[in-house]
Amino acid sequence: MRASSARRVTSPNAYELIGLFLESSGRPAILDPGEDPIPIGPDNFKLERRGGILTLEVWSETRNLVRRVTGIRSQHRAKLELIVEKFGGRTGSLSLVDLAHPGSQEATRRGIRLKYRERFRRSLLRQFPGWRLAELSTEPDLERSLSPTYPRALLRKGSIGLAAIGAAEDAVDVDGALTFGLIWLDYLRRRDSQVPIQGLAIFVPAGREAATCHRVRHLNPSATCAIFVHFPDGLEDAVDPRDYTNFDTRIDPCHRPLATAPAQTVDWVQRIQIAPDVDRRDHPDGAVSLAVRGLEFARVTGERMLFGLDHKHEASTAAHLTEIEALARGIAARRAHDGPRESSLYSEAWLESQVRQKIETIDASLWTQPLYGQVPEFAGGERGVLDILACDRSGRLVVIEIKASQDVHLPLQALDYWMRVKWHLERGEFSGRGYFPGIGLRPEPPRLLLVAPALDFHPSNETILNFLAPAIDVERIGVGIEWRQELRVMFRSSVLPCRFPSSAK
């Protein structure tokens, strides 16, 4: 069946086409905008044609849907969009989809988004009585980097406005709502400078609000945020970000590298690390890793030395040492500076290794050693950004976040790490646990450096950075596109204190 678009079909044709669609579908279902799909089976569906009127009825344990079908709006293999008449004579749409067909996934996702959009609408009307819902959308806006995953709204009350955004329970990245909410807030302020937009209301699932609450505590006053959590029963409640003061991180004691390794293993590490293109990295737990341009091929943990890429083997003989050296040479040959850019071996870890080796190119005030990664450690898995914790020659900590490709969430992901470093610094845990030995750490909040290829900062990164609190000393550092051959700084962009968006009212 060939697809057609915006083609209205009379009721007799609609009857035949609906029947053919159901017969050819593996898992037919009805999608009503804003509701869960209802699977169609032989015992819960009726299509009746009487006196020129075509009526469709489908039911489940919780719902009963009856619509008069007046035509077909569009026709595809995985989806048949119907024009229907609702109660009161209003025209609407209803979709038949084949859930077994890969082409139905987008329609299903859109149905899920519309369902949460309607719940979001009800939440706004409950929490902001007296306000008028002027706009509500789940449509993507690529020009302004607005995602369809998060419904966004504009509320109006007299001459003032309020931006709002929501994240459903099944959202893959609930924490991403704040990024898009700030983009939406900035857009509304710039679109109509005569309407003061007072702030941003954010709705997230209960139990998953901590990251958002931590983040908004470090935004400037122009980004006044109200946080609401919604529950499975459909209701929601306001929370106070000031109640969220503890972080799910830890700082383990820093141990001397190779402290428990046998003398033979120590000798092997010293022999391997002087080979061309091999980088040695000491970890706070005493482990030592050996890598070529960011790709680890050997690690010493405790008394054991392991080597390999996909599968690790224990090194115990001279033959293993020869094998490790050959592995390093092979990686260097494959991970050549002029290798194909599409290769999976070109990863962010390579850029991190370049930054570590040329840390004074990034900032001449930084000590070249020690440099730490994954300190403090995040609970709950890996982060989307590689980080380095350094110290400048005045004793001030410096957080360096590295991204090799565009990421709209980079500023707030960096803020996550900055907040935790600041929190542990205030408690004296870095010096107390052996980090930066011999350096007197200053109590000031850490500096924040965002490092990425100059052309790969997302266009919205600067918008988000303008919303950070003035106390955060942040700088964007763009490196040249040929950073694999030579790390060169192409620009430095500091965001000045008192960073208030010019269009804020």
DSSP code per residue over 424-464: HHHTTHHHHTT-STT----SSPPEEEEEEEGGGS-TTHHHH
Over pLDDT 70: what percentage of the chain? 89
pLDDT over 50 (residue 6): no
Range ranked top by mean pLDDT from 12-21, 90-99, 255-264 = 255-264
**Locus of tokens 């929490």:** 127
pLDDT tens, residue by residue, 461-474: 999 999 999 999 99
CB proximity list for 468: less than 8 A, separation 6 or greater: 218, 219, 220, 411, 415, 474, 495, 499
pLDDT tens, residue by residue, 327-369: 999 998 887 765 555 444 457 889 999 999 999 999 999 999 9
When pLDDT is cut at 50, 70 and 90, the band that residue 382 belongs to is low
**Cis ω before 376 (30° cut-off from 0):** yes
Mean pLDDT, the chain, integer: 87
Burial 355-383 (b: 16+ CB within 10 A, else e): bbebbebbbeebbeebbbbbbbebeeeee
When pLDDT is cut at 50, 70 and 90, the band that residue 94 belongs to is confident
State how far Cα 317 lies from the chain centre: 45
Residue 62, classified by CB atoms within 10 Å of its CB into exposed (0-12), middle (13-18) or buried (19+), is exposed
When pLDDT is cut at 50, 70 and 90, the band that residue 498 belongs to is very low
* Amino acid identity, position 386: L
Q: What integer is the mean pLDDT of 270-286? A: 92
**Locus of tokens 């592995």:** 327
* Token couple for 308: 């390999």
**Locus of tokens 């001397």:** 256
**Cis ω before 262 (30° cut-off from 0):** no
Which residues, in sequence order, are bridge partners of residue 45? 58
**Locus of tokens 């082409």:** 103
pLDDT over 50 (residue 2): no
Q: What integer is the mean pLDDT of 243-260? A: 90
Neighbours of 238 (CB within 10 A): 10
Q: How far are the Cα atoms of 56, 161, 176, 195, 238 from residue 149, in angstroms, in the given order? A: 31, 23, 10, 26, 22
pLDDT tens, residue by residue, 197-212: 999 999 999 999 999 9
Return the pLDDT at 102: 75
When pLDDT is cut at 50, 70 and 90, the band that residue 500 belongs to is very low
Return the pLDDT at 106: 59
* Token couple for 135: 């706009």
Question: Which of 120, 139, 190, 123 lies closest to 161 in space, CA to CA?
Answer: 190
pLDDT over 50 (residue 497): no
Tell me how far apart the alpha carbons of residues 453 and 354 are, in angstroms, rounded to a whole number.
Answer: 12
Q: What integer is the mean pLDDT of 290-298? A: 93
CB proximity list for 83: less than 8 A, separation 6 or greater: 8, 69, 70, 71, 72, 73, 91, 92, 93
Q: Which long-range contacts (CB under 8 A, 24 or more apart) does 485-490 make?
A: 485/337, 485/338, 487/354, 487/355, 487/357, 487/358, 487/361, 487/362, 488/361, 489/361, 489/362, 490/454
